[in-house]
Chains A and B, each alone.
Chain A
Amino acid sequence: MGSDILTREVHPGGAPSGPRRPVDLAAREATRAGMLMMAPAVVTTATLVIYPLVRGFQTSLESGDAAVGGQPHFVGLRNYGEVLGSSTARDATVHTLSYVALAVTLELALGLIVAVALHRTFRGRGIVLAILILPCALPSVVSGVLWRRVFDPDSGLLNSVLEQLHILSQPQVWLAGRGWALAFITLVHVWGVLPLVSLILIAGLQSIPEEVYSASAVDGATPLRQFRHITLPLLRPSIAVTLTVGTVWATKIFDEIYVLNGTALNTRSILMEVYNTTFVNADFAHGTALAFMLTAVTALFAAVYAVTFRRSTT
């Protein structure tokens, strides 16, 4: 019976030769079973993803006076235009791009170094790997609080060490100036993400056959040439994943900034601007408009990485 159905299903364009009734019945049952199995996923996705997205988009097209007793009305893309014209949002965009550029570069460079170092087996490798994963296991708020003690201008570890070494004569407020603040916040972010990036790259390295290295060594390739001409090209899929993950996470940076420097203008990211506009100012219309723009940019980054690496690996 099963093979009979299969045979008839694959007839291209023509009607099956046998009786139709059993085929319809089986197909109907299969469809019904499929629907039933799909239903929980459809309901869950529709409730928790699609509906909020649609409702959020609708909010971004309405006036933002619901939280002050007004009646929201349709304003088209006005909120998007106003958000684009806001100097605070523009500064937040520049900060976010800085976080992304710095974080992704550092994560990839340091991740490769860690991965190459930990790829080879050596005594105590398991312990090193376990220690490596620790920062990733800490919630970002907790790591932010820990690092705050390091950067504290009056009693922080960093100032204390630099003063002891006579490098500083008076305490430095590391998070006051834009340059230092952006750099230190990025470091804290990278500290949390680096373990995952390293693990992805270690997994990628382990998938490269050892024979390739042996053969190249016979041909006289130095370790540097092996890294450049074997490791890097064969790691491309893993690098694509780390770049995508790193970019998306750096674009969404929030906890580290909030804990270390509050909503200060000199370090505010786009997501913080979304938070501030939406929940502090109670302006859901402009907040959701900004959030949708952030989503679009993040998706664009991910798409560019995916397309670029698919082209380079095919």
Chain B
Amino acid sequence: MKRARRGVVSTVAGAAVLIIAACGGGDSGGGSSGFAPRDKVSIQGQEISVLLPQKIPGGLPAEFTRKTGVRVSVEVTSWDAVRSKLVVANTAKTYVADVTEFDWSFTGQFAAAGWYEPVEKVLDPALVQDLAQADAAFDVGGHTYAACYSNDYRLSLYNAGMFTAAGLGEFPKTFAELGPVLARLKVSGVRYPLGIPMAATEGGVTPWYLLTMAMGGQLFDKDFKPLFADPGSAGYRALRFEVDALKNGWVSPGSVTFDNGPAFDQFAAGSSAILLAASPGNLATANDPKESSIAPHAKPALVPGVRGPGTTFGLPEGLAIPVTARHKDAARAFIEWWMQPATLRVLYKDAGMVPCRGSVVTSMATSGELDGGAVLSDELTHVVPLFPQGAPKWYGQFSSTAQGLLNAAVKGDMSVEAALKQLAAKATELATSGS
């Protein structure tokens, strides 16, 4: 009997050893920097994995392989899924990819958690210098955690064909002018002239951020005190505008379940005439006859404001190297190859990604390669950061709460006042607890 018990004990002990071995194997990357001097490292024959929220032109990875001998496997999934994957894998200190998406909104949390390698001393100094302005969104505590690859910001798009048919000329410069324009478009036969995604997603809250800034406000003060709960505030008026747009029939009732993808699809299908919060890359797609039925009538416009064009904000996206990456030197080579002017031009032309390198943007604007270049350049002068003091580490929780509450307000499940008061209380709690 004792021997039988001993047998059970040894079986369980064996199982425990295997569990420990299995679990111990999870941390494949370690926490060290792991970069070798450029002249002492060979990356040829290595294979890296890249995790992105959007497709890149099919031939590009092969081009990198041809130049460096490094094979690349690109995994593409939705933005929200990318974030979830990064949070889960990095919390478990497990390998997720060698190069990953790094959105501006990740900066506070991911830097505090120590999940990414600072890149300012790893990448070519000339490249770091050229990216400095755009990379400010990825700076925390004296370190830069990503190299910006998509100079995303919000601007407005409109269908010039529909404007002409409605007897309208220029795009409105203020919100006071916007109302009559929308009414005129509606009379001319555009059932829902305005496209605003309002689903309970990140894409559904971005227009509220934009409208808040365009109406002359900010979300928080310098101490992260919320500024949107007061009925006179820009944040309050911005949400009120969204609710009224639904009530007035300017926006499709279905917008309350739309993310930015379907909202853009409606614009490209000619179902709406104005997109207030579009990405610069949307312009090229909307004017591509293969992907849009309104080509070539899509035109860019400055986001309306209170007395003239309003403020907008940047949502730069970067490439970063997790501390758990297996081939950090190859990952660095991949980022540097991506940032070469020729690669950036292909990415803009075929994937609508506006480059972040100052020298490349200037060169493309000068040569006329940037579609709607003058307006895009003009809008860039109105771009300010959503969080001038840097994205807080609790941004994910704030955004997730905002998604639910703003969606409830536009659906009429809550009043604008109640939704924003609740959001302000949550933001105050997060800022105070520092979690």
A interface residues, Cβ below 8 angstroms from B: 27-28, 31-32, 35, 38-39, 42-43, 46-47, 51, 64-70, 88, 152-154, 171-173, 175-178, 261-266, 268, 276, 279-284
Contact = CB atoms under 8 A, between A and B. Distances in A.
B419 to A, nearest CB: 10
A43 B16 CA distance: 8
Contact of A69 (B112, B204, B403): B112
A279 B84 contact: yes
B126 interface: no
Contacts of B393: 68-69
A64 B91 CA distance: 11
B350 interface: no
Contacts of A262: 199-201, 204, 257, 259, 403, 407
B190 to A, nearest CB: 13
The 7 closest A-B pairs by CB, nearest first: A153-B254, A69-B112, A279-B84, A264-B200, A265-B404, A46-B15, A43-B15
Q: Taking each of B4, B10, B259, which has the highest tally of chain A beta carbons within 10 Å of its own beta carbon?
A: B4
Nearest to A46: B15
Contact of A152 (B87, B254, B404, B412): B254
Contact of A265 (B252, B397, B412, B413): B413
A27 B4 CA distance: 9
A287 B413 CA distance: 25
A191 B350 CA distance: 41
B contacts with A: majority SS: helix
B22 A68 contact: no
B19 A51 contact: yes
| Count class of interface residues, chain B | 35 or more
Given A46-B16, A177-B411, A35 B8 contact: yes
B18 interface: yes
A31 B3 contact: yes
B349 interface: no
B114 A69 contact: yes
Given A43-B15, A263-B403, A264-B407, A283 B256 contact: no
Contacts of A154: 252, 254, 266, 271
Nearest to A40: B15
Contacts of A283: 397, 435
Interface of B: 3-4, 7-8, 10-12, 14-16, 18-19, 22-23, 80, 83-84, 87-88, 90-91, 109, 112-114, 199-201, 204, 252-254, 256-257, 259, 266, 271, 393-394, 396-397, 400, 403-405, 407-408, 411-413, 435
A263 B3 contact: no
Given A31-B4, A153-B253, A154-B266, 20 more contacts: A31-B3, A31-B7, A35-B11, A38-B11, A42-B12, A43-B15, A47-B19, A68-B109, A68-B394, A154-B254, A177-B411, A178-B413, A261-B200, A264-B200, A264-B257, A265-B405, A266-B411, A276-B400, A282-B396, A283-B435
Given A263-B201, A266-B411, A281-B400, A176 B15 contact: no
Given A68-B435, A176-B256, A176-B257, A281 B407 contact: no
B147 to A, nearest CB: 22
B404 A88 contact: yes
Contacts of B18: 43, 46-47
Contacts of B4: 27-28, 31
A32 B7 CA distance: 7
28 contacts: A28-B3, A38-B11, A43-B15, A47-B18, A47-B22, A51-B23, A66-B113, A67-B113, A68-B435, A69-B393, A88-B404, A153-B254, A171-B253, A176-B253, A176-B257, A176-B411, A262-B204, A262-B407, A264-B200, A265-B407, A268-B404, A280-B396, A280-B400, A281-B396, A282-B91, A282-B109, A282-B396, A282-B397
Q: Taking each of A46, A88, A177, A279, which has the highest tally of chain B beta carbons within 10 Å of its own beta carbon?
A: A279
B257 A173 contact: yes
A67 B91 contact: yes
B403 A42 contact: no
B169 to A, nearest CB: 29
Contacts of B411: 176-177, 264, 266
A178 B232 CA distance: 30
Contact of A39 (B15, B201, B435): B15
A175 B405 CA distance: 16
B388 to A, nearest CB: 21
B435 A64 contact: yes
A264 B112 CA distance: 29
Nearest to B408: A265
A24 to B, nearest CB: 9
Contacts of A172: 253
B98 to A, nearest CB: 21
Contacts of B12: 42, 46
Contacts of A39: 11, 14-15
Contacts of B396: 280-282
A262 B11 CA distance: 46
Contacts of A279: 83-84, 87-88
A281 B3 contact: no
B108 to A, nearest CB: 8
A122 B88 CA distance: 53
Contacts of B256: 173, 176
Contacts of A281: 396-397, 400
Contacts of A43: 14-15, 18-19
B203 to A, nearest CB: 10
Nearest to A34: B7
A46 B257 contact: no
Nearest to A69: B112
A153 B405 contact: no
Given A153-B257, A282-B396, A266 B413 contact: yes
Contacts of B412: 176
A149 B23 CA distance: 43
A51 B15 CA distance: 11
A19 to B, nearest CB: 18
Contacts of A268: 404
B280 to A, nearest CB: 25
Nearest to A279: B84
A262 B16 CA distance: 40
Contacts of A152: 254
Nearest to B430: A281
Contacts of B252: 153-154
